[in-house]
Amino acid sequence: MSGAGRERIFLRNAAAAAAGTHSVSDTGGLLAALGRVVAVDSPVYCPGVTELEKAAAPLFPVRVDDYAAAAVTVEEVFGAVAETGTIVCASAGGRAVQAGLLPAHHVAIVRRERIFGTLDDLFAAIAFAPPTNVTLVTGPSRTADIELTLAIGVHGPEKLDIILV
């Protein structure tokens, strides 16, 4: 499967799982997309570790150092899986994977070259040096009780936006 094919399938499947999807071509497009999806007055956790996070961090006037105090987490994630529309959060580099699970809104930045076609492709890529923790997230958190009453955001963020760069 070509890179463009993986991208198209990933965006389609992520949108089908109720994630907001945005595709941009460069850092300027990333900043514009962030301006549209993150409320200016929201307390934002952005680790500022990667180059894309460093570019994004100055956009947020209410930036917090602890994801537990954030309404929104904006972070570059490890990658994505096209076949399921899943983002992949990993503890590599000391990242806290729960940073994207605790705040009500998770904005995941995914690099195009980090889209894996299948789950098998992902696990093959990390097989020789797996991170301590890998979390697979497909859409906002959902759960249903025995009466099939759907609840959003109980076990994770109620809103997920994915920006493909």
- Predicted TM-score of the model (pTM): 0.91
Assign 134 to helix, strand or coil. strand
pLDDT tens per residue across span 48-78? 999 999 999 999 999 999 999 999 999 999 9
Tell me the sheet residues that pair with 89. 135
β-pairing verdict for 44-45 and 150-152 = unpaired
d(C-alpha 58, C-alpha 72), whole Å: 15
pLDDT of residue 95: 82
d(C-alpha 74, C-alpha 53), whole Å: 8
Instruction: Answer positive or negative: Cα dihedral of 99, 151, 33, 88.
Output: positive
d(C-alpha 35, C-alpha 31), whole Å: 6
Question: How much is the average pLDDT of 26-36?
Answer: 96
pLDDT tens per residue across span 109-154? 999 999 999 999 999 999 988 888 999 998 876 565 566 665 555 5
Domains, in order of start, for the chain: 3-164 (3.40.50.10420)
